[in-house]
């Protein structure tokens, strides 16, 4: 088991925005954001993603043009030269972030640590007490922000069919935590139809992980495709507003929940991934999601004399699901912090999560 941990020495760190100093079209992210950097163990990095997306000939000339644009040579222009547009190009209807799932070795204690650290009550569970002998999962919620912490039960007692999250695999979990320790396995977005989102994505080159499955309520469906590294993009479609989370999860009693916890955190603003090279990953994600470029920054914009990075932000039509991606730069006095992450994490992964707070000063004081 890796010694890696979520980096909470400062608990929540202020994420500076530039909206007061630059024109609106160049605004980076929203106000009142705090970030959670993720720190993991050090060893060699993995190979970068090289998935190649192709358009289907059945879509005709329009699809060929769209595919050609997606595969055009990726070139950074930097913050000052970037012109933001929103082509409304999503290939499926995206509503919002639904949840973030962390894989870990001890779900209940990890969940409690985050609960007290972030002011997020424990609101639901799926474990042996609910009939799930495959994995223990605990849901924390604050506003629209949902964090799920999942750890496996021993294969000697496990019944895979009892899993609340059907894609769960003991062997995959063991490999994941061996490499990354406590880390984000799934970024879940709520879509109009998990079936349509999965079909549209795979037809445009997304690597399939788990095909759509209709859950026990006959209303909720989930599916997964490869995101980057060992992380997945999970599609969730719900028959209601999603407040009940997923079938197979049951509410916890008030004594276990700590309902009084509330530090003012309300939702996930963006989830940042670190990758060895931006071009292949940006093209891969744009091709199968249709997301557009929301912002970009080069080492000249955000680097220092010591180190640097390049960054691109992808967004959905509504621009409420933001996926920034970072790559390292080379030739600086010190190793890029992105390269350091890739080595410690044994490859690409979710590097930090930015959280929207009602009052960032109150959140930090808590």
Question: What confidence category does residue 66 fall into, taking pLDDT thresholds of 50, 70 and 90?
Answer: very low
pLDDT computed for residue 36 by the predictor: 59
Least confident span in 66-75, 220-229, 255-264, 300-309: 66-75
- Position 67 pLDDT exceeds 60: no
Q: Is the pLDDT of residue 18 over 90?
A: no
Q: To the nearest whole percent, how much of the chain has pLDDT over 90?
A: 69
Mind listing the pLDDT tens digit for each residue in 181-235?
999 999 999 999 999 999 999 999 999 999 999 999 999 999 999 999 999 999 9
- pLDDT of 130 > 60? The answer is yes
- State yes or no: pLDDT of 118 exceeds 80: yes
Q: Is residue 41 over pLDDT 70?
A: no
pLDDT recorded at residue 38: 59
The confidence score (pLDDT) of residue 98 equals: 97
For residue 168, the Cα-to-chain-centroid distance in whole angstroms is 17
Q: What is the mean pLDDT of residues 266-283?
A: 98
- Please state the rounded mean pLDDT for residues 267-287: 98
**Residue 95 has what pLDDT?**
97
């Amino acid at each position: 088991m890796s010694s890696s941990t979520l980096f909470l020495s400062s608990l929540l760190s202020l994420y500076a925005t530039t909206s007061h100093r630059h024109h609106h079209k160049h605004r980076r992210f929203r106000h009142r954001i705090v970030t959670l950097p993720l720190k993991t163990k050090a060893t060699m990095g993995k190979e970068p993603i090289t998935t190649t997306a192709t358009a289907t000939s059945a879509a005709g000339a329009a699809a060929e043009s769209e595919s050609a644009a997606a595969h055009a040579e990726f070139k950074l222009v930097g913050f000052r030269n970037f012109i933001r547009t929103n082509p409304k190009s999503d290939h499926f209807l995206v509503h919002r972030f639904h949840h973030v799932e962390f894989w870990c070795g001890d779900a209940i204690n990890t969940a409690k640590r985050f609960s007290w650290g972030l002011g997020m009550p424990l609101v639901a569970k799926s474990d042996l007490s609910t009939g799930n002998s495959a994995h223990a999962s605990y849901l924390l919620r604050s506003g629209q922000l949902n964090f799920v912490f999942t750890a496996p039960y021993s294969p000697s007692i496990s019944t895979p069919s009892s899993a609340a999250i059907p894609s769960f695999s003991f062997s995959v979990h063991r490999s994941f935590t061996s490499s990354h320790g406590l880390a984000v396995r799934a970024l879940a977005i709520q879509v109009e139809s998990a079936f349509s989102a999965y079909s549209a994505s795979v037809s445009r080159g997304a690597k399939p992980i788990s095909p759509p499955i209709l859950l026990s309520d006959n209303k909720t469906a989930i599916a997964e495709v490869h995101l980057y590294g060992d992380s997945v993009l999970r599609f969730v479609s719900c028959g209601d507003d999603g407040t009940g989370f997923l079938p197979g999860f049951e509410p916890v009693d008030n004594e276990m929940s700590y309902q009084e916890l509330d530090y003012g955190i309300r939702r996930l603003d963006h989830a940042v991934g670190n990758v060895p090279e931006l071009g292949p990953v940006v093209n891969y994600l744009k091709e199968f999601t249709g997301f557009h470029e929301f912002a970009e920054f080069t080492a000249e914009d955000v680097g220092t004399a010591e180190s640097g990075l390049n960054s691109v932000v992808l967004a959905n039509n509504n621009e409420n699901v933001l996926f920034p991606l970072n790559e390292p730069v080379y030739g600086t006095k010190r190793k890029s912090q992105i390269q350091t992450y890739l080595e410690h994490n044994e490859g690409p992964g979710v590097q930090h999560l930015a959280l929207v707070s009602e009052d960032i000063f109150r959140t930090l004081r808590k």
